[in-house]
Chains A and B, each alone.
Chain A
Amino acid sequence: MSQVDSHLIEFLLRQGDNPLILGHRTSEWCGHAPALEEDIALANTALDLIGQTQLWLSYAAEVEGGGRSNNDLAFLRDVYDFRNVLMVEVPNEDFARTMVRQFLFDAFQVPWLTTLQASSDQRVSDIAIKSLKEALYHLERSSDTVIALGDGTELSNDRMQTALNYLWPYSGEFFGEDDTDKAMEKRDIAPLPVSIRETWNSTVSSTLDTANLIAPSDPFAHSGGRTGVRHTEHLGHLLATMQTLQRSHPGAQW
């Protein structure tokens, strides 16, 4: 029996779980957004993210080789099997937090997927090329919105700054590093996430400057999501909703 490539599976779950959980959170706005155009934009962003998830989790399931599908991975795993960063699972709270989070995430995804295009793993490269087109478009919209609301009224600026202060300690986890990251780097599948930190910093600081928002200076960073060691209390509630059909009717199909 050949050995299961556990580092590659772990890496692929991290790539797939981030857009899955963020996509679900974003989809919670459907029918509730402050304006029809925003409602449509959020739903379309969620759709792109969930589409990207299908690509990553399909590949994860193939590498795993245990007969599970991408749907099984999305709907039949529990909290501690998920490998998304904590930032994407925290509640939406308001439109400000939703858009600041989307921006911080997009500012990471764009340089990250850009480097993954050159992955030694052809499938990883193909998925990155496909996803990057969508991520670039998301970043354009989220940075425009962060600027419009940050540099808007006193109230909108205050709401955006509050959101930024809340989310900032969750941003350091993007750049986590463990044995899986080192294994991916060694095999030229993916660089260490810290290698794009400067690019992220520069995108974020220039947008925040224009938006009249101030990044907190405390370097503290929450972690535990991308390794699965410690998720927030919110992920369980999210999964209870997202997985309700499979929990009530195991094995149900369209």
Chain B
Amino acid sequence: MNTTAVTVSQVWQWLGEIPDPEIPVISIVDLGVVRDVSVQENKVSVVITPTYSGCPAMREITEHITKELTSRGFEDVNLETRIAPAWTTDWMSATGKAKLESYGIAAPQAKGSPNRCPQCKSTDVEKISQFGSTPCKAQWRCTDCLEPFEYFKCI
């Protein structure tokens, strides 16, 4: 395929279809790890940033991006990992936050704790542990419906 007519916004759209390897309900664009895209004929450059410095999903994200853009016809896919400015949950899209909640993960809140149970929407929640199944999440529990749930840490 000839990529000369491909626009930057088209590439963003394709990247927006790549799921996060650990929370597949949101895309890597929703998560805010894709920071920049540039296109030059058959060459595409993508800048990504890790959520946490030891995030084990970075390698898989890199592979997914390369595979996706190669299959779209780019001969040269250049990926750069940048740590500055440091990733923040502020970069997560509103769509991403809504998808998280419907999936059962409470979205990050500036106050540092979930505002409601993603299942029954009760605001009576308590912390079980500061960490969860991935570096970006903590474990909480609803004291109304008694369901434990994960909360996306706000950093």
**A residues with CB within 8 A of B:** 37-38, 40-41, 44-45, 47-52, 54-55, 125-127, 129-131, 133-134, 137, 140-141, 144
Contacts and interface: CB of A to CB of B under 8 A. Distances in A.
Nearest to B84: A126
Interface in B75-121: 83-86
24 contacts: A37-B128, A37-B129, A40-B132, A40-B133, A40-B139, A41-B129, A41-B130, A44-B132, A45-B131, A47-B52, A50-B54, A51-B50, A51-B52, A52-B53, A52-B54, A54-B53, A55-B53, A126-B86, A130-B83, A133-B86, A133-B155, A134-B155, A137-B155, A141-B131
A160 to B, nearest CB: 19
The main secondary structure of chain A at its interface with chain B is helix
A51 B133 contact: no
Contact of A55 (B83, B129, B131): B83
Of A44, A52, A126, A130, most B-chain CB atoms within 10 Å:
A44
A140 B129 CA distance: 12
A41 B131 contact: yes
B130 A129 contact: no
Contact of A47 (B129, B130, B135, B139): B135
A130 B55 CA distance: 12
A16 to B, nearest CB: 12
A230 to B, nearest CB: 30
Given A37-B139, A55-B83, A127-B83, A134 B128 contact: no
Contacts of A49: 54
Contacts, number: 64
A39 to B, nearest CB: 10
Given A48-B52, A51-B50, A130 B131 contact: no
B56 interface: yes
Interface centre among B84, B86, B130, B134, by most A CB within 10 Å?
A: B130
A45 B131 CA distance: 9
Contacts of B131: 37, 40-41, 44-45, 141
B135 A48 contact: yes
Interface in B109-155: 128-135, 139, 153, 155
B30 to A, nearest CB: 20
